[in-house]
A and B are shown apart, each in its own frame.
Chain A
């Protein structure tokens, strides 16, 4: 158990209903844990000042009416690019200084409606652009398994918070791997749902056609509960699809390893992959085959272009989405008075960090007259080919097994000077976003340095339940356990 109360939402619900602990007690515990260790870890940008009150109210209501949902009173951390009405939403950017949200993200609203208690907001790469949280304007989050290393990104704060036991569940967003890669780096489960499964309303957009919200959890069932609660069509997001969220639970229950066809894109296990990661994933594959699954080699011929396609499409959309941060209506405006043009330039120059600026420039270029054909439009064509590859592969297998990340968690500063190598850390995850497919990362043990390794499962559209069932089977063998930081930090917080 990563906390003294429960190891899953089901246990939480049982303990709550049997009166073994109150929601307030649980909430106080997690907030206390955050205060105790987050000075070192820096997973959180701020903690809720309303959580205890809410917990107390939920306890009172439960006394009278009982708890309607397993979620009732369950604590959750929210990545700080998801909005909660009346609270700051920074996206870890200076440009949103002082901004308070006017609405609550649909996904969060649905969790709150079930009774979830929001503990606070977690750190991220600025506007979710990055793979290490080093791009946060408020300083990086550390990996609880090794404080000299990054937790991954962009949802590094949420991953670290769940790994370090600051929260039993956290929300992230995933545009090219921003949930799955930090989940792998921190040794937790992280799910990116099918595009259109969960409303993006209230998620500050990075690349609208690729972004999805998803959970970090320590168990597959908890992730499933969270997905079911958040999913479903939303009148505020026209890209959501009318699918019954309960189908995920049904798929979860129905899926069996026996006869399950595992697609193995052999090319992805070749050069560039850390040998130890290859080995760990090999063990997972053997386990699954031992349990009745069988392997099917598949080719994804266009996946090699995934990174290129992604960094054209994602930056194009990002450059467009970030136009609204102009200093006119909200957020930061430069103190240097000037004509309109200077106001725009100074505000955006002061407000955005280096990586965000880099991507705005790339995206603006890719959409410019004279270059759009060669970049944006060509990337869209290749994206369609990548999507076709996947759909073709899924005629021959039920899901794909790949590494989540080509390397173990890397050291701070190791890749900041070389954006291309940083971009490559998303090489296995990016294509699921380009094809709109559900995918997750689940711990597959640890390497010789004790660092977590993630295995990546990609499924056909709407197969989250199936993926989670398989993830649940894998985590029966490969629970990475608690990071050393967890034990060390009980007293002092001064690990550095």
Chain B
């Protein structure tokens, strides 16, 4: 570890995360029902996932493949033999009365993820990843005196990813989750959609005096957004420290995060913990992985976020922070790269001339619109192919950068082709020497003292004059041309 742990009121926080992620398979884990979110209740079900008598589970090979891919991407060891077991409890959303999951012998062991926070970069070890099936959903809302059960989700393939207790702060936890989700998305293992429940998180948290023995851990269930993870952890850290400092002992228990109050609430104590009675599922022979399959997955592994960021730093001259921001939004990184390639095909912007402008455009304008409007803004009328011409116009001096931004915003808002807006608004940069000269002369005439100071060596005032001209032209002036004329008028060539 390259950095020390941050302390909270003098206490060290110890956190391990359990992530359940739904796999992007076409069908469910043990039957051939469609694996899809959002269908009307109980329309994606069959005798197997409804646990009718006489039905047997048949393992989905695609789920195994995706599990392997995720594991290899995180540097896990593949266990060539793994075992599906039954985890028993009664609940209406669990049709068989047991969940099929891997317990003593998971598909994948070990592995790790690099995280970075304000404190620096650290490695979080992954303990294991294993395959299991999802449960259905109980529906209570809006139904007086009754509960309904939707079993569309019952049997959907899950990969459970368990970290070691290596995480030391809420920031680190959130970064770990973000990077894990990036990894799963980049490898097409999961869509990582938290709103639809395809990426869910349980937190195991304890506090201790730095370097002391581990404290008693509390599990916080189903914290379903990065923001809630952060909030739940901050609350729980304070709660545990308060309790210990008040002389109480922390009980091992499971708690639920309540987003409305921002608090965690007890769900069940260790004494109430269920006895799941795990034992190997006799309907499923041990899963034996063919090493050839592992090789195939290794060879076909798509570019992972970490190496993509490194590549962008090297080839597109991005800063590490910018590259990580882009890679953090995979679709945006794709957009960026597509645009970059296009810019290189156009003479006005080729040879790296468009690159810097495009980068800054993406990281300001496009990122903002993406956050505001979602991924739709990356395609259609504001796709990379439609947006690139704006930057070409900036390169050729036909538009100012700020005009390009305005046009893009309007285009995103209206869903119109940016070029159509350019011609509609008659936007064109003022590059005519005569017009610009008039602006320049007016600005110099209005600021004699600054002209004097500049000539006396105050170079920084150059930007002040440019700004003045831009203002007068209401943003339409071509800043490069303005610079040329200013330099000429001010009688300095540097």
Q: Which residues of A contact B (CB under 8 A)?
A: 82-83, 89, 91, 96, 99, 101-103, 105, 200-205, 207-209, 235-239, 316-317, 320, 323-326, 328-330, 340, 344, 364, 367-369, 372, 376
For residue B96, which residues in chain A have a CB less than 8 angstroms away from its CB?
323-324
On whether the beta carbons of A91 and B53 are closer than 8 Å, the reply is yes
Bound complex: CA of A103 vs CA of B56, how far in Å? 12
On whether the beta carbons of B58 and A236 are closer than 8 Å, the reply is yes
Contact of B97 (CB < 8 Å), options: A83, A235, A326: A326
Bound complex: CA of A235 vs CA of B95, how far in Å? 22
For residue A317, which residues in chain B have a CB less than 8 angstroms away from its CB?
282
On whether the beta carbons of A209 and B282 are closer than 8 Å, the reply is yes
> Interface readout for B37-57 with A: 1 if CB under 8 Å, 0 if not?
000000000010011111111
Is the C-beta of B92 less than 8 angstroms from some C-beta in chain A? Answer: yes
For residue A103, which residues in chain B have a CB less than 8 angstroms away from its CB?
47, 52, 54-55
For residue B279, which residues in chain A have a CB less than 8 angstroms away from its CB?
316, 320, 367, 372, 376
For residue A236, which residues in chain B have a CB less than 8 angstroms away from its CB?
56, 58
Contact size range, B: 20 to 34
For residue B88, which residues in chain A have a CB less than 8 angstroms away from its CB?
320, 323, 367
Interchain residue pairs with CB less than 8 A apart (23):
A89-B54, A91-B53, A101-B54, A102-B52, A103-B55, A204-B53, A205-B283, A209-B282, A237-B283, A238-B56, A238-B285, A239-B56, A316-B279, A317-B282, A320-B279, A323-B97, A324-B97, A326-B92, A328-B95, A367-B88, A367-B279, A369-B275, A369-B277
On whether the beta carbons of A89 and B59 are closer than 8 Å, the reply is no
On whether the beta carbons of B95 and A324 are closer than 8 Å, the reply is yes
Contact of B277 (CB < 8 Å), options: A82, A201, A204, A367: A367
For residue A369, which residues in chain B have a CB less than 8 angstroms away from its CB?
275, 277
Q: Which residues of B contact A (CB under 8 A)?
A: 47, 50-59, 86, 88, 90, 92, 95-98, 149, 275, 277-279, 282-285
Name 19 extra pairs, CB < 8 A, besides A101-B54, A235-B58, A329-B52: A83-B54, A103-B47, A201-B54, A203-B54, A204-B53, A205-B53, A205-B54, A238-B57, A238-B283, A239-B56, A320-B86, A320-B97, A323-B98, A325-B53, A330-B50, A330-B52, A344-B90, A367-B277, A372-B279
On whether the beta carbons of A324 and B51 are closer than 8 Å, the reply is yes
Bound complex: CA of A102 vs CA of B278, how far in Å? 29
Q: Count chain B CB atoms within 10 A of each CB in A105, A200, A328 and give the residue with the most.
A: A328
Q: Which residue of B lies closest to A363 (CB)?
A: B277
On whether the beta carbons of A329 and B51 are closer than 8 Å, the reply is yes
4 nearest A-B residue pairs (beta carbon): A323-B97, A209-B282, A208-B282, A367-B277
* Nearest chain A CB to B16 CB, angstrom units: 22
On whether the beta carbons of B47 and A201 are closer than 8 Å, the reply is no
For residue B285, which residues in chain A have a CB less than 8 angstroms away from its CB?
238-239
* Nearest chain A CB to B134 CB, angstrom units: 17
On whether the beta carbons of A364 and B277 are closer than 8 Å, the reply is yes
Q: Which residue of B lies closest to A101 (CB)?
A: B54
On whether the beta carbons of B284 and A238 are closer than 8 Å, the reply is yes
Bound complex: CA of A482 vs CA of B97, how far in Å? 46
Bound complex: CA of A444 vs CA of B52, how far in Å? 40
Contact of A96 (CB < 8 Å), options: B47, B53, B278: B53
Given that A102-B47, A317-B282, A328-B92 are contacting pairs, would A200 and B97 also be in contact in the complex, using a CB cutoff of 8 Å? no
On whether the beta carbons of A83 and B53 are closer than 8 Å, the reply is yes
Bound complex: CA of A241 vs CA of B98, how far in Å? 26
For residue A82, which residues in chain B have a CB less than 8 angstroms away from its CB?
54
* Nearest chain A CB to B449 CB, angstrom units: 83
Q: Which residue of B lies closest to A93 (CB)?
A: B53
